[in-house]
Amino acid sequence: MRVLAAGCVTLIALTTGAVAEQSPLARSEERLPCAHYDPLRRPFFGDTHVHTAFSFDAWGQGTLAGPRDAYRFARGEAIGMQPYDAEGRAQGQIQLRRPLDYAVVTDHSDLLGETQICQNEALPGYDSLVCRVVRHFPKLGYALVNGHVYSSEQPARYSFCGSGGTACLDAGRGPWREIQEAAEAYYDRSSACQLTTFVGYEWTGMPGGDNIHRNVIFRNAVAQAYPTTYIETPTPEGLWHALESECLAAGNGCDVIAIPHNSNVSNGRMFTATRSDGAPLTAADARTRARLETLVEVTQHKGDSECRAGAEDELCGYEKLSIARMMDMAGAGAAPADLPPLVYVREALGFGLVLEQRLGRGANPFRFGLIGATDTHLAAPGMVDEDSFRGHAAGTVSVRWGAPPYPDRPDFNPGGLGVLWAEENSRDALFDAMRRREAYGTSGPRITVRFFGGWTYPENLCGNPNFAAVGYAGGVPMGGELPPAPDMHRAPRLAVWALRDSGGGGAPSAPLQRIQIVKGWVEDGASRERVYEVAGDPASTASVDLATCTPGHGFEQLCRVWTDPDFDASAPAFYYARVVESPSCRWNTWACNAHRVDCRDPASVPRELAACCDASVPKAIQERAWTSPIWYAPAAASATH
């Protein structure tokens, strides 16, 4: 049936061209149809993780830009940033070179009210000890309050919130309303479909300092009456229950997903085989999670979460933090070798297959598509360019007085983007893409990647101008599950095509170096993984000129139809593509070059730029994109489902 449907889509595309007069999308909202509708889908670049002045930690870092500023920034307008003068005028300014297609403001649901109370003297609690400390010693307040609420196993409201936290919950209603109104105000409901915004928030659980945060994103303007908080609902199961009962089952058109992030500092608690109370995960638990958490953030400002450094995969050393827990950001943490299992997304994808074998078909709690985001705390969605990085104000580097010359912790980075394959730039189309996992993440560049899985793709598909049409007609796109094999002797064929980011607006860009396919499968009850080189030049010696940041040579585009040479029809598996650019300058190299740092003369290097001469900090990176996986389930398991 799926093949038939895809065939119909292809036929429509061939007979009508790429633009349809009327969108066949099932809409959950009233809006004009987009003028540009493509049944074969287009990539839309955006950011699902954005903090503004409504987030306590962003405000504590001096951010005063709100949700409306964030959306103005997303659509390409300049906004102010710290420092601010006594009248509140921004002394700094930031602007995207290329506007985004979509953005989601995801302020912390926790402390929404406290943030208001501590800066509004008309609200009760303004004169509390905590608020006084916060105002007088902003960074101390930042550390104390974040730690008190976010890092506690049993979080509690401050006493100034009153009985049951009522005062703080009440004070949080205004920001929550403004978040929704800003999303509405900047959502382009015209046929131009320039910018799509979503209502969202971040549930900020960090028990014992282990990050288990989720970004919650609503399909349309219908959202929860109040965002779920870690303080009142301190477990992921509680969050999922709240999303089901207050949204999905509300019968008012509410629809929602949640996106886990920063598993790299979860200390292994993001992906567990147990519930929060220690009981084993049930099939129902796993299905609930798979239904609500269709995507995972594979990369962002606070490091990469794809795979474990030191494993056989040499490219896993990319943007790794050397700490296991979010709370250790302020000091030295565990060395990578000490990290517990199931910290990284690839490990979770493999373990999900193992769990599904134990719990039953469809009970894979870690069936994640992959996206990237920034986690900016400057209200600056999509600010990912390495050459103009100003920090994202989410770490221990203070930006209250403006971005310092060396703008962030050496192991942080500008973050990534999420890319959604959708028919048009509207909420329903993009949300559907998130739900079906037809999405991928990039470390910042606007690399375009198509990835299809099937059984019968022709070898010459790469030269076919109807690559996408054939891809949909003969299989599934990224995020899907392979259809049953036509016979027992076939191995999956994966068609992957990537186009480099051409830059634009003056943004630096680099050519592609190679495409890899990462396979995970189950063998003897344990997960295994292997990386295959499928296109490009893995042996490339092209490097970047660190003095001028001119990247080496590479490819404009790469394509391959690849057949799994080690396929075992009895083993559940997943495949995802990783597209790697030629080396380019990392943000610190751009910053150090801009300040003409000469490490040959240490006495000339200002103290605030000393990290420029730290040999342990990488000077170059290989930017990349990660597609969502395509899963394979053995026929017997499919039959029992």
Partner 1 sequence: MSVRRAAWLLFAAFALTLPFPAVGPFGGFVPAVHHVVLLAATLAVAVAEGAAGPVPRILALFAVHAAVTLALTGLAAWLCARLLASRSPATRRTVVWAVCAALLAVSLAFELYETPFGRAPTANLLGVF
Contact between 140 and partner 1 per CB under 8 A: yes
Contact between 144 and partner 1 per CB under 8 A: yes
Q: With contacts defined by CB under 8 A, name the span among 179-187, 394-402, 476-484, 627-635 that binds partner 1.
A: 394-402
Q: With contacts defined by CB under 8 A, name the span among 133-141, 373-381, 386-394, 588-596 that binds partner 1.
A: 133-141
CB of 148 to partner 1, least distance (A): 5
- 336 or 404, CB closer to partner 1? 404
Contact between 150 and partner 1 per CB under 8 A: yes
State the Cα–Cα distance between residues 590 and 586, nearest whole angstrom. 7
- 155 or 480, CB closer to partner 1? 155
CB of 145 to partner 1, least distance (A): 9
C-beta separation of 568 from 629 below 8 A: no
Contact between 151 and partner 1 per CB under 8 A: yes
CB of 107 to partner 1, least distance (A): 20
CB of 326 to partner 1, least distance (A): 10
CB of 160 to partner 1, least distance (A): 9
State which of residues 152, 194, 464, 593 lies at the interface with partner 1 (CB under 8 A).
152
CB of 152 to partner 1, least distance (A): 4
State the Cα–Cα distance between residues 233 and 248, nearest whole angstrom. 18
Place of tokens 């890319």: 419
CB of 400 to partner 1, least distance (A): 8
Residue 190: CB atoms within 10 A of its CB come to 11
- 202 or 386, CB closer to partner 1? 202
Place of tokens 């969108």: 23
Q: Which token pair is 51?
A: 């903090």
Residue 369 DSSP SS3: strand
State the Cα–Cα distance between residues 588 and 387, nearest whole angstrom. 9
Contact between 401 and partner 1 per CB under 8 A: yes
- 11 or 129, CB closer to partner 1? 129
Contact between 279 and partner 1 per CB under 8 A: no
State which of residues 12, 133, 283, 491 lies at the interface with partner 1 (CB under 8 A).
133
- 274 or 396, CB closer to partner 1? 396
DSSP of 179-207: HHHHHHHHS--STT---EEEEEEEE---G
Residue 177: CB atoms within 10 A of its CB come to 10
Contact between 631 and partner 1 per CB under 8 A: no
Q: With contacts defined by CB under 8 A, name the span among 10-18, 326-334, 432-440, 482-490 that binds partner 1.
A: 326-334
Contact between 600 and partner 1 per CB under 8 A: no
Question: What element of type H or E holds 517?
Answer: strand 512-523
Residues 199-258 touching partner 1, rule: CB under 8 A, are 209
Contact between 136 and partner 1 per CB under 8 A: yes
Tell me the Ramachandran region of residue 481: left when phi exceeds 0, alpha when psi lies from -120 to 50, beta otherwise: beta
Contact between 639 and partner 1 per CB under 8 A: no
Smallest CA-to-CA distance from 630 within 489, 465, 450, 487 is with 450
251's CB contacts (< 8 A; 6+ apart) are none
Q: With contacts defined by CB under 8 A, name the span among 25-33, 49-57, 71-79, 135-143 that binds partner 1.
A: 135-143
Decide: residue 225, CB within 10 A, 0-12 exposed, 13-18 middle, 19+ buried: exposed
C-alpha dist (Å) from residue 172 to 136, 164, 375? 23, 14, 21
State which of residues 138, 317, 360, 483 lies at the interface with partner 1 (CB under 8 A).
138
C-beta separation of 14 from 469 below 8 A: yes
Residues 158-187 touching partner 1, rule: CB under 8 A, are 158-159
Place of tokens 């002797």: 489
Contact between 331 and partner 1 per CB under 8 A: yes
CB of 151 to partner 1, least distance (A): 3
Contact between 3 and partner 1 per CB under 8 A: no
Half-sphere exposure of 92 (CA within 13 A, CB side): 19
State which of residues 146, 264, 513, 582 lies at the interface with partner 1 (CB under 8 A).
146
Contact between 610 and partner 1 per CB under 8 A: no
Residues 472-511 touching partner 1, rule: CB under 8 A, are none
Residues 4-43 touching partner 1, rule: CB under 8 A, are none
Place of tokens 């406290």: 114
Residues shown for the chain = 641
State the Cα–Cα distance between residues 156 and 163, nearest whole angstrom. 11
Contact between 115 and partner 1 per CB under 8 A: no
Residue 592: CB atoms within 10 A of its CB come to 24
Contact between 130 and partner 1 per CB under 8 A: yes
State the Cα–Cα distance between residues 345 and 288, nearest whole angstrom. 19
Q: With contacts defined by CB under 8 A, name the span among 17-25, 145-153, 515-523, 529-537 that binds partner 1.
A: 145-153
CB of 136 to partner 1, least distance (A): 8
State which of residues 396, 456, 543, 550 lies at the interface with partner 1 (CB under 8 A).
396
C-beta separation of 526 from 352 below 8 A: no
Q: With contacts defined by CB under 8 A, name the span among 96-104, 141-149, 359-367, 375-383 that binds partner 1.
A: 141-149
DSSP of 237-297: HHHHHHHIIIIITSSSS--EEEEE--GGGBTT-SS-SB-TTSPBPPHHHHHHHHHH--EEE
Contact between 137 and partner 1 per CB under 8 A: yes
Q: With contacts defined by CB under 8 A, name the span among 41-49, 155-163, 339-347, 460-468 that binds partner 1.
A: 155-163
Contact between 98 and partner 1 per CB under 8 A: no
Q: According to DSSP H, which parts of 255-408 are helical?
A: 283-292, 345-359
- 283 or 397, CB closer to partner 1? 397
Number of helical (H) and strand (E) elements in the chain, helices listed first: 14, 23
C-beta separation of 231 from 164 below 8 A: no
State the Cα–Cα distance between residues 626 and 628, nearest whole angstrom. 7
Q: Residue-wise over 75-108: b if at least 16 C-beta within 10 A, else e?
A: bbeebbbbebeeeeebebebebbbbbbbbbbbbb
- 62 or 444, CB closer to partner 1? 62
- 396 or 456, CB closer to partner 1? 396
State the Cα–Cα distance between residues 627 and 515, nearest whole angstrom. 11
Q: With contacts defined by CB under 8 A, name the span among 6-14, 69-77, 101-109, 156-164 that binds partner 1.
A: 156-164
State which of residues 3, 12, 25, 143 lies at the interface with partner 1 (CB under 8 A).
143
Residues in contact with partner 1, counted by CB under 8 A, come to a total of 30
State the Cα–Cα distance between residues 173 and 176, nearest whole angstrom. 5
Cα distance from N-terminal residue to C-terminal residue, the chain: 17
Q: Can you give the binding site for partner 1, defined by CB under 8 A?
A: 129-130, 133, 136-140, 143-144, 146-152, 154-156, 158-159, 209, 327, 330-331, 396, 398, 400-401
